[in-house]
Structure 1
Amino acid sequence: MGQQNRIQKITILAIMIALDFFLSPIFRIEGMAPMSSVLNVTAAVLMGPVYATVMAVVCALMRMLFLGIPPLAFTGAVFGALLAGLLYRYKRSPWLAILGEVIGTGLIGSLASYPVMVWYTGTTTNLFWFVFTPRFFGGAISGSIIAYLILVKLVKTSQFQRIQALFFKN
């Protein structure tokens, strides 16, 4: 039974990675990736912090390698996925997952982007600590609202509950 559960978890993770990688560039506003936040919150609620973070890391690396997106793909997704998953695990509330995404991506991710982009571009010209914050907050808030609207219906389905039970065994 253990091997089958691992295969199911990896399969769900692969599907979430594919959805994130495919949807994020389609519904992208310059400097904002609301679909990344949709998938971060959904993954946090469905799979928990570890798998949601793995999804965010893999998708960020794929975006950087295949789509030429700068390291903002990494800083903009990973902190939100991790914090959303940790807060959801704490109380099992989608609102806490949303709060984790908004704080993780909107605040922590945006602030972590400054030193990363200084390193990446080799300059501080036109960069200051809060340069990414408005767009990261905008993407995280709008994406989290969309995720909540999706999760309201999705969490009631037996398939979602079955998959969630696979990741959240008590």
Structure 2
Amino acid sequence: MNKNKHAAKLVFLAMMVALGVVISPILRVEGMCPMAHFINVTCAVMLGPWYAFVCALAIGIIRMTCMGIPPLALTGAVFGAFLSGMFYRMSRGKLVCAFAGEVIGTGIIGAILSYPVMTFVWGKTGLTWFFYVPSFIAGTLIGGTIAFLFLKHLQKAKLLSMFQETLGSQAYDSREDVTNDALGIAFSGFIGYLAVTVAVHQFAPDGGTVVNMLRYLVLAAFMGAALVYWNVKRPKAA
């Protein structure tokens, strides 16, 4: 890697760290920070696993020291960032694998390891090994979906590989993939689920069973649309 590309990579890394610190409070509750996962997946695809790991580590340390966030800022980020980059590289550029790496690394590994950290280091009581798994997985699904859709649009516009080459990262063939498009539609259902959940909580907290089921209907509708899209658009056997 020449000096210009190395400098560009460091500048981009610094920008991602700054952006991650600024947008991390959006939608945040303890155990769920969706925008951190957006940064993780984006950085993993653009820069690779080690730079993504450093980005997540730097963001976590800044959030802990300047915002008083517990060690979840680290356990809920660094493993997913690294695995996202590794899965993306091992799959030779499949965005869905970068998404899966974030879900597994943060939603499962990071969530489980958060228990001993929060119990023995932070002194929090009443936790179990799987206490943080549901909220971590929810956060990764939301933030990872946003990153997947963002990167998919860059890929369709032929910009993703251009950015990767400019940064000196490994670029992959960005051919159209009906399966990935269908997965993008399906993943969008998690955003719809979140939007409906927030709307119901805000405007109809006592809406009853039907209103509370609306979020699941929205999620199912996106899943169904993804299945229909894949069935219609997939190459037919000769």
Which TM-score band applies after superposition, normalised by the shorter structure?
over 0.9
**What do the CA deviations read for 1:82-114 (whole angstroms, capped 9, x no partner)?**
000000011110000010000000000000101
Aligned to 2:47: 47
Aligned to 2:149: 149
Q: SS state of the match for residue 167, structure 1? A: coil
Q: SS state of the match for residue 25, structure 2? A: helix
Amino acid at match of 1:97: A
1:77-92 alignment runs, 5 A limit: 77-91=77-91, 92=93
Moved over 3 A (4+): 156-160
Aligned to 2:170: 168
Q: More displaced, 29-38 or 49-58?
A: 29-38
**How far 1:122 sits from its partner (Å)?**
3.0
Q: SS state of the match for residue 25, structure 1? A: coil
Aligned to 1:73: 73
Matched residues in 1 for 2:96 and 2:132: separation?
Answer: 24
Aligned to 1:101: 102
**How far 1:3 sits from its partner (Å)?**
1.6
**How far 1:169 sits from its partner (Å)?**
6.5
Matched residues in 1 for 2:21 and 2:159: separation?
Answer: 23
Aligned to 1:17: 17
**How far 1:74 sits from its partner (Å)?**
0.2
Amino acid at match of 1:111: I
Matched residues in 2 for 1:18 and 1:118: separation?
Answer: 30
Aligned to 1:119: 120
Structure 2-normalised TM-score?
A: 0.67
Shift in alpha-carbon separation, 1:150–1:169, aligned structure 2, 3 A: closer
Amino acid at match of 2:108: L
Matched residues in 2 for 1:169 and 1:71: separation?
Answer: 34
Q: Any unmatched runs of 5+ in structure 1?
A: none
Cα RMSD between the aligned structures?
Answer: 1.7
Matched residues in 1 for 2:171 and 2:18: separation?
Answer: 25
Structure 1-normalised TM-score?
A: 0.92
Amino acid at match of 1:59: I
Aligned to 1:61: 61
* 8 Å CA contact 2:161, 2:171 repeated in 1: no
Could you say which structure has the larger radius of gyration?
A: 2
**How far 1:5 sits from its partner (Å)?**
1.6
Shift in alpha-carbon separation, 1:75–1:129, aligned structure 2, 3 A: same
